[in-house]
């Protein structure tokens, strides 16, 4: 029977665990943000569809009917009356298109936080994998990358790093 030795996880295992946790949190953030974006996108699709229906199928018949009616009720010629009706309908279409554009922009803004979080997480991961000792997060978490048996050295290093962050003067000699 093999003897089980209780070893603390290696630095790589801790980093790998942190990476897995990070990606799990990133997926949760994407899920929440995508639900919000979906709601905003649904509104924009509805407004855009209404605008397309107005501009496409019913617009011609409506414009002709209203133009003829306006020509009969006013002193405008038939052509001028149709032009006035056409401009009024296009104002309605422009307003609905603007509402749809704002909703699409809102949906894109909902994903901006996820994008910035993801970029920040990738920068942290790169810094941690390339140089764990220089990663800003790990300057406070020295125990994640130091030798667990070297407690006296760890205390000195933590003291150095905490002094570094407490001292706001970048010109002071170390």
Residue 98's pLDDT band, with cuts at 50, 70 and 90, is: very high
In a domain, residue 28? The reply is: yes
Q: Quick one: 139 and 119 in the same domain?
A: no
In a domain, residue 174? The reply is: no
In a domain, residue 7? The reply is: no
Q: Quick one: 141 and 106 in the same domain?
A: no
pLDDT tens per residue, range 113-166: 777 877 787 777 777 777 666 665 555 555 555 555 555 444 444 444 444 444
Which residues constitute the domain of residue 29?
Answer: 12-130
Q: Quick one: 95 and 47 in the same domain?
A: yes
Judge contact between 26 and 121, C-beta under 8 A: yes
pTM over 0.85: no
Q: Quick one: 90 and 146 in the same domain?
A: no
Q: What is the pLDDT of residue 111?
A: 74
Average pLDDT of the chain? 74
Q: How many domains does the chain have?
A: 2
Q: Quick one: 23 and 58 in the same domain?
A: yes
**In whole angstroms, what is the distance from residue 168 CA to residue 171 CA?**
9
Largest CA distance in the chain: 106
Which residue carries 């029977």 as its tokens?
1
Q: Comparing 23-32, 108-117, 138-147, 162-171, which segment has the lowest mean pLDDT? A: 162-171
In a domain, residue 39? The reply is: yes
Greater pLDDT, 49 or 111: 49
Strands of 33-168 (E only): list them. Answer: none
Residue 21's pLDDT band, with cuts at 50, 70 and 90, is: confident
Q: Quick one: 94 and 149 in the same domain?
A: no
In a domain, residue 98? The reply is: yes
Q: Quick one: 48 and 103 in the same domain?
A: yes
Q: Quick one: 99 and 155 in the same domain?
A: no
Q: Quick one: 67 and 45 in the same domain?
A: yes
Q: Quick one: 94 and 142 in the same domain?
A: no
Q: At residue 110, what are phi and psi to the nearest 5 degrees?
A: -65, -30
For the cut 90, the answer to whether the pLDDT of residue 99 exceeds it is yes
**In whole angstroms, what is the distance from residue 45 CA to residue 39 CA?**
10
Q: Quick one: 75 and 147 in the same domain?
A: no
Q: Quick one: 141 and 113 in the same domain?
A: no
In a domain, residue 94? The reply is: yes
In a domain, residue 37? The reply is: yes
Q: What is the pLDDT of residue 56?
A: 79
In a domain, residue 161? The reply is: yes
């Amino acid at each position: 029977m093999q003897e089980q030795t209780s070893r603390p996880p290696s630095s790589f295992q801790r980093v790998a665990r942190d990476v897995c946790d990070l990606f799990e949190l990133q997926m949760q953030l994407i899920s929440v943000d995508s639900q919000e974006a979906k709601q905003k996108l649904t509104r924009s699709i509805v407004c855009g569809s209404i605008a397309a229906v107005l501009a496409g199928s019913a617009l011609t018949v409506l414009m002709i009917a209203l133009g003829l009616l306006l020509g009969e009720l006013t002193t405008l010629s038939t052509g001028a009356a149709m032009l006035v009706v056409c401009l009024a309908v296009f104002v309605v279409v422009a307003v609905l298109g603007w509402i749809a554009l704002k909703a699409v922009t809102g949906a894109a803004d909902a994903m901006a936080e996820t994008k910035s979080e993801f970029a920040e997480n990738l920068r942290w991961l790169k810094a941690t994998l390339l140089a764990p000792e220089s990663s800003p997060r790990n300057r406070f978490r020295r125990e994640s990358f130091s030798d667990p048996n070297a407690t006296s050295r760890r205390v000195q290093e933590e003291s150095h790093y905490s002094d570094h962050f407490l001292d706001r003067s970048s010109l002071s000699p170390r």
